[in-house]
Amino acid sequence: MKRVVSVSLGSSTRDKTSQVEILGQKFEVSRIGTDGDMTKFAQLVRELDGDVDAIGLGGIDRYLWTDKRRYTIRDADRLAKNAVKTPVVDGSGVKNTLERRTIEYLQYNGLVDFGNSNVMVTSAVDRFGMAQTIAKLSKSVVYGDLMFACNIPIPMRSYATIRMAAQTLLPLVCRLPFKWIYPTGKKQEITVPKYQKYYHWADVIAGDWHFVRRTMPTIESGLLRGKIIITNTLTEQDIAMLKDYEVSLIATATPNLAGRNFGTNVLEGILITLLGKRPEETSVEDYSCLLEKLNWKPTITDLT
């Protein structure tokens, strides 16, 4: 049996192991949270190196992207380099294919009319495939990179602005301690409502779930009632919570494996194992061909 393990900076309360069969191959897929402990994370990667088929970086990106320009997050790169035998993935390859297709699937199957919707993208440089596709389809977008990652209450309203801000800020941001720019460990379980006017304005909220969860409105405000959430890495408890909020529809790019939408890094680990290639050898075309064989479709949960 093939083994794919996602080591995450997130809370261990979200841990999960599933066994699935994909294209005739049996997989054991696991997510192990380290509660924000970088030392424990590095140790786990070293222990898994050579014993599993792929290691995913969970709760942390190794790379951020705008167009074809890639920026490396220093903390994540250090963690990844603890493995020398087993391929390490951070989900970038999947974000560049699957998340683009998710937006196109929702538009062309009549599930979301991006052209007539206000869309808030929590972080365009994190979900770059999703953000670039939304930019082509929607004329009314707020990109929350400065708000959600840097706590600077400035919305950006065009992808051109994202490109310019990224070239200026990412060389510095990528050198900061990762915990300064993204919730890790138990911080992922704390919600402090912020940016409420944009939650009120948006018909569609797209992007990283932990950014959304960290700042989402109270249930009493009713600000998520009838909204569409496009995200990832949802547990059964997360979906139940969004149902209580009266969210109308949830779309996730990754498939539901035994009751859990694992992160993009997990799916990327499965894909490179099926391809028999290392991440640096894998092209967008490789992922696209494999997704066709898998007859991939996003997971749609209608809560109405």
Q: Rg for the chain (alpha carbons), in Å? A: 18
Instruction: Say if residues 257 and 16 touch (Cβ distance below 8 Å).
Output: no
> Hunting for tokens 């841990």 — which residue is that?
15
User: 168: pLDDT confidence band, cut at 50, 70 and 90?
Assistant: very high
Of 262, 264, 289, nearest in space to 275 by CA: 289
What is the spatial distance between Cα 247 and Cα 225, in angstroms, rounded to a whole number? Answer: 5
Q: Return d(Cα 223, Cα 200) in angstroms, integer.
A: 5
- Check pLDDT > 80 for residue 68: no
Handedness of CA 264, 266, 270, 276 (dihedral sign): positive
Question: Residue 233 pLDDT > 70, yes or no?
Answer: yes
> How far does CA 58 lie from the centroid of its chain?
9
DSSP of 284-295: HHHHHHHHHHTT
Average pLDDT, integer, range 18-32: 92
The answer, yes or no, to whether residue 258 has pLDDT greater than 70, is no
Quick check: helix, strand or coil at residue 283? coil
pLDDT tens for 178-205 read 888 887 777 777 899 999 999 999 999 9
Question: Which residues neighbour 24 within 8 Å (Cβ) at sequence distance 6 or greater?
Answer: none
Helices then strands (H, E): number in the chain? Answer: 12, 13
pTM confidence score: 0.87
At 26-61, the pLDDT tens digits run 999 999 999 999 999 999 999 999 999 999 999 888
pLDDT of residue 13: 85
55 or 233: which leads in pLDDT: 55
Q: What is the pLDDT of residues 112-133, one digit of tens each?
A: 999 999 999 999 998 899 999 9
Mean pLDDT of the chain: 92
Band of the pLDDT at 11, cuts 50, 70, 90?
Answer: confident
Determine the 3-state secondary structure of 247 from DSSP.
coil
